[in-house]
Chains A and B, each alone.
Chain A
């Protein structure tokens, strides 16, 4: 498989002031908007070519919606998604169609993301066939075989159906399907959360190997901080539609600045009782508010231990504190 040639600009993707609101409507005959779910509320960041950018946050933080906007599966309410400098929303259908093979996705649930009525071969072969990337049956067979081997599956599984495979095997099929388009960029949306611990490690290693081999860029969306820290170069922490902090993985762990990041880190238990005995977890009070009704000012202030009056009024800007380390908190 050929490698994707790199361009001149180092940023593969740029997200500028991205907003995605979902209106909540009411009314039987005439629908009127009674509320807005502010899933993603004005975020900006970039993804460098060849890196793995981790995106973490808890339910309702907007990470999945962000991934979907990047893939152009959702149209942003406002803001821009630039792929290699070109705004996805301004592309013609023709341009988008040419671009789509390069932006792929691996989904979370290996049980529902594969069509149960298609064979493995058909599932993997469908995307390149649709995009007319394969000529003839011979090439088709070869390509599928190759892809199966690359993801660590036996090529003779080509005629099996998803239900005959385990969760880990199905996820490998998902990876093969994403690779079949020779992408530059893959959104991995919780690709290992549904898998057993020992299988997670297999898939994580596979993703890393493939990145090296094909020069891939990943957006790795997950709630498991330990996994994200392992695989990512840089990490974005989101909370209720906003970015709380961006830093490289070492810096984020050693020097988390945002109170939410600190609480999140502290909440993750480490598989070592001796280490755990010395830690004092920061326990956040209360629940995560609904994105239908986010708090005024800093969205985190109701649960924050160092919040002051200002925090209720101002939405903190994402500021660069040190090299490649940005925080959205006025108290830092």
Chain B
């Protein structure tokens, strides 16, 4: 198992009339071949922008990757020209989006949307491409695939459309799939189906998955390792077990305490995090989480904490991470 993706100090900023939005402000992590990595955080933390940065889909202007490297199999994606990036996008790295209805083209058949990927990336004859499309539709659990190739997105339910999205992403045998909130718009039982499918495919085909979500339950069920993001930065990084059982950042701790759990009897009260996420144009000096933090000390307002090891393969960006370890 080797390192497939390495992100080093990535910064993606948006230059707007109201100021510079530091959507992603210095994140680093790696993804191993075949593993499932979760990027967790609430709205505005930068998780989607980080995925779009990897895919080279940041609108320029007003956005721009201002710093850092994205090494995919050793090649820095940020330095590639558009043509080379186009070759990688869809073929080696694929993406699944949150809203399957708006991500699929409503006026093209499913068949066309599936085969388009192969036609663009590989030289194959029409027959082989059709065969591959049928194969992949079966792989994602769509029955009667030959017939469904000529249907349109509106003829599929939400769950089915998401399966189609997964199928499209698999057409060229990618090494990495970025799934941005892939099941948020779906019903619970359909969500379970789709996630089981993704997990099974990942294991069977050896495809690495970065799953971006705010759902802590989904992360616990499917991820091997986790990056917790807040206000454009990774604040904690570790194995799934470490993050849930030994959280070492006040934000992670706060999140875990504020989420109702199906398996626990009703606590007296949930323990919410006070206040609100910060304005990304006007970030506080020092640690961005300080204004809401229960463990804040003087240093937090002055210096931005670096992401440092607190245990083996477990990092936290917090000046009082040690205190949390007890």
Asked whether B272 lies within 8 Å of A271 as measured between CB atoms, the reply is: no
Q: Which of B48-56, B99-107, B256-264, B304-312 contacts A (4 or more CB under 8 A)?
A: B256-264
Task: Report A-chain residues with C-beta under 8 Å of the C-beta of B216.
Answer: 197, 271
Task: Report A-chain residues with C-beta under 8 Å of the C-beta of B220.
Answer: 269-273, 275-276
Most buried by A among B42, B188, B217, B263: B188
CB distance from B284 to the nearest CB of A (A): 16
Q: List B236-261 residues whose CB lies under 8 Å from chain A.
A: 240-241, 244-245, 254-256, 258-261
Asked whether B188 lies within 8 Å of A268 as measured between CB atoms, the reply is: yes
For B42, give the chain A residue with the smallest CB separation: A196
Asked whether A287 lies within 8 Å of B42 as measured between CB atoms, the reply is: no
The interface on chain B, measured as residues whose beta carbon lies within 8 A of the other chain's beta carbons, has a size of 47
Give complex CA distance A198, B44 in Å: 13
For B159, give the chain A residue with the smallest CB separation: A287
Asked whether A230 lies within 8 Å of B270 as measured between CB atoms, the reply is: yes
Q: Does B203 contact A (CB under 8 A)?
A: no
Asked whether B187 lies within 8 Å of A223 as measured between CB atoms, the reply is: yes
Task: Report B-chain residues with C-beta under 8 Å of the C-beta of A269.
Answer: 192, 215, 217-218, 220-222
Q: Does A292 contact B (CB under 8 A)?
A: no
Q: Does A295 contact B (CB under 8 A)?
A: no
| A-B contact number at CB 8 A | 136
| Known interface pairs A166-B276, A271-B219, A287-B159; A197-B189 also in contact (CB < 8 Å) | no
| Known interface pairs A208-B269, A269-B215, A281-B192; A275-B263 also in contact (CB < 8 Å) | yes
Q: List B117-147 residues whose CB lies under 8 Å from chain A.
A: none
| Known interface pairs A197-B214, A200-B258; A205-B42 also in contact (CB < 8 Å) | no
CB distance from A303 to the nearest CB of B (A): 9
| Known interface pairs A229-B262, A269-B221; A281-B188 also in contact (CB < 8 Å) | no
Asked whether B276 lies within 8 Å of A168 as measured between CB atoms, the reply is: yes
Choose among A168, A202, A230 the residue that contacts B260 (Cβ–Cβ < 8 A). Answer: A230
Task: Report B-chain residues with C-beta under 8 Å of the C-beta of A276.
Answer: 220-221
Q: Does B285 contact A (CB under 8 A)?
A: no
How would you classify the secondary structure of chain A's contact residues: helix, strand, loop or mixed? helix
| Known interface pairs A197-B214, A287-B157, A287-B159; A270-B272 also in contact (CB < 8 Å) | no
Asked whether B42 lies within 8 Å of A198 as measured between CB atoms, the reply is: yes
| Known interface pairs A166-B276, A230-B266; A270-B261 also in contact (CB < 8 Å) | yes
Q: Does B150 contact A (CB under 8 A)?
A: no
Q: Does B43 contact A (CB under 8 A)?
A: yes
Task: Report B-chain residues with C-beta under 8 Å of the C-beta of A304.
Answer: none
Q: Does B202 contact A (CB under 8 A)?
A: no
Give complex CA distance A68, B272 in Å: 30
Task: Report B-chain residues with C-beta under 8 Å of the C-beta of A284.
Answer: 189, 192-193
Most buried by B among A198, A199, A266: A198
For A57, give the chain B residue with the smallest CB separation: B187
* Residue ranges of B at the interface with A (Cβ–Cβ < 8 Å): 42-43, 157, 159-160, 187-193, 196, 214-223, 240-241, 244-245, 254-256, 258-263, 265-267, 269-274, 276-277
Q: What are 16 A-B residue pairs whose CB atoms fall within 8 Å in the complex?
A: A198-B255, A198-B272, A201-B271, A205-B269, A205-B272, A223-B187, A229-B266, A264-B189, A267-B189, A269-B222, A270-B261, A274-B245, A275-B220, A276-B221, A284-B193, A287-B190
